[in-house]
Amino acid sequence: MQNSTSTSSLWRPWTPITQQANSMRIVEAKGNRVRDAEGKWYLDGISGVLNASCGHGHPRLIEAATRQFQQLVHYDPMVSTHDPAETLASRLAEIAPGELNETVLTNSGSEATEAALRIALQYWRNNGEDRNRVITFEAAYHGTTYLAQQLSGLPFTVSEWAPPFPVDHVSLPASPREIRTEEGADALIGLFTRALEAGPPAAAVMVEPLLGLGGCVVLPAGFLARLRKLCDQHGALLILDEVFCGFGRTGRMFGFDHDGITPDIVTLSKGISGGYLPLAAVMVTSSIKETFIREPIAQGLRYGHTTGGHAVAAAVGNTVLDIMADEKLVENSAAQGATLLKGLGKLESSPLIADVRGLGLVVAIEADAPESAAAIAEATARAGVMTRHERGVIRIAPPLTLTDDDTAEILQKIGTAVEDADAARR
């Protein structure tokens, strides 16, 4: 039957139905480039869905997946275990700091948030304490399941349904540019202090190391260390959402490594499988897991999915770690990111640009208005570089395999797009 709302029967999420018909169709991707149905190649400035950290079509990832497909696709994670998931969990424990030794594998970042919250809330029950209040940033994005969506106060994602537990949102006390100053950092910590002091004892504070969808806001240096201290003073768990920042995106293996802290719980996805297959993880400290051994919940975690820790996805995850080490992707992220940030920072002299910020290979250009951001991003795409813009902020998060030539191309094409938009304004 003819579809009445658009020319496609595919209902894509987070996209107005009236806009679905005009979308670009991507048909091929290799290395750091993608091709559309018209045959035009683009430098992929957004790593697929911000997850293709090893680039596209990497032969080692294809080979790892093929080998695992041939040996064992997957098997019931409730009654058995398999080598790819066991190996991934122990390798994650090796690279994570401190007591973060225990891993639950899921399929998506939202499921990782869901599992992290259930573990955090159950942890307090296990300890005989009735804590269920969770504190997050208002500009947070932690995913789209019922629980995960409750954590965000962003107008475009805020849930219409009541949360099953109290959530307190901390708003940014200043603009993203001002927040990076010493005064901005103090004001921010002041708001988290107040949120922890007001109301019943908090179960957990959950934050991203960099507010991705909330405007690509780079948090002040040292903020996470101060938040860690604050959580310890109030006995609240600190949950770090590393779904976007983890696996080298910010120029360190994890975003929290910049501050040298160990969170109590960490959520991971995106870069964990380089986007090749659905995979996510929740890492918790051994002392949190130990509370699940006690009665009456000695049956363990009452949460899991059929394909959680899928053998092929886990095999890919193990090879991602090999590639990251062999190709020095964390180091490359830091180096190319610094060049990009320095080069794009020069655009701040344009009246169209309000702020340029970044950490590793995530750089944001905040325009003076959403229309300017759209015009610059569209011109950049026409020139052959894919970026993403939301609410006046252009986000660039290319694969961590970015080369010097790729970085130069991004700088040149975005620079020209800003110059042209500037000239058109006059």
Task: Assess contact for 268 and 44: CB atoms under 8 A.
Answer: no
* CA distance linking residue 402 with residue 413, whole number of Å: 15
Question: Residue 106: which H helix or E strand, with range?
Answer: strand 100-106
Determine, following the binding rule CB under 6 A, whether residue 205 of this chain makes contact with ligand PLP.
no
Q: Name which of 137 and 292 has its Cβ closer to ligand PLP.
A: 137
Determine, following the binding rule CB under 6 A, whether residue 310 of this chain makes contact with ligand PLP.
no
Determine, following the binding rule CB under 6 A, whether residue 117 of this chain makes contact with ligand PLP.
no
SS3 68: helix
Of 110, 273, 380, 401, the one binding ligand PLP by CB under 6 A: 110
- Encoding tokens for residue 196? 């922890």
Q: Name which of 308 and 343 has its Cβ closer to ligand PLP.
A: 308
**Residue 14 buriedness (CB in 10 A; 0-12 / 13-18 / 19+):** exposed
From the list 150-158, 207-215, 286-294, 400-408, the region that binds ligand PLP by CB under 6 A is 207-215
The HSE-up count of residue 163 (CA atoms within 13 Å, CB side) is 20
Determine, following the binding rule CB under 6 A, whether residue 257 of this chain makes contact with ligand PLP.
no
Q: Name which of 247 and 292 has its Cβ closer to ligand PLP.
A: 247
Question: Least distance (Å) from ligand PLP to the CB of residue 79?
Answer: 27
**Residue 36 buriedness (CB in 10 A; 0-12 / 13-18 / 19+):** middle
Interface residues for ligand PLP in 121-160 (CB under 6 A)?
Answer: 141-144
* Closest-approach residue to ligand PLP (CB): 109
Determine, following the binding rule CB under 6 A, whether residue 244 of this chain makes contact with ligand PLP.
yes
SS3 29: strand
Cα dihedral across residues 360, 361, 362, 366: positive or negative? positive
Q: Name which of 281 and 375 has its Cβ closer to ligand PLP.
A: 281
Task: Assess contact for 242 and 220: CB atoms under 8 A.
Answer: no
Question: Least distance (Å) from ligand PLP to the CB of residue 117?
Answer: 12
Question: Least distance (Å) from ligand PLP to the CB of residue 313?
Answer: 13
Positions in the binding site for ligand PLP (CB under 6 A): 108-110, 113, 141-144, 208, 212-213, 241, 243-244, 269
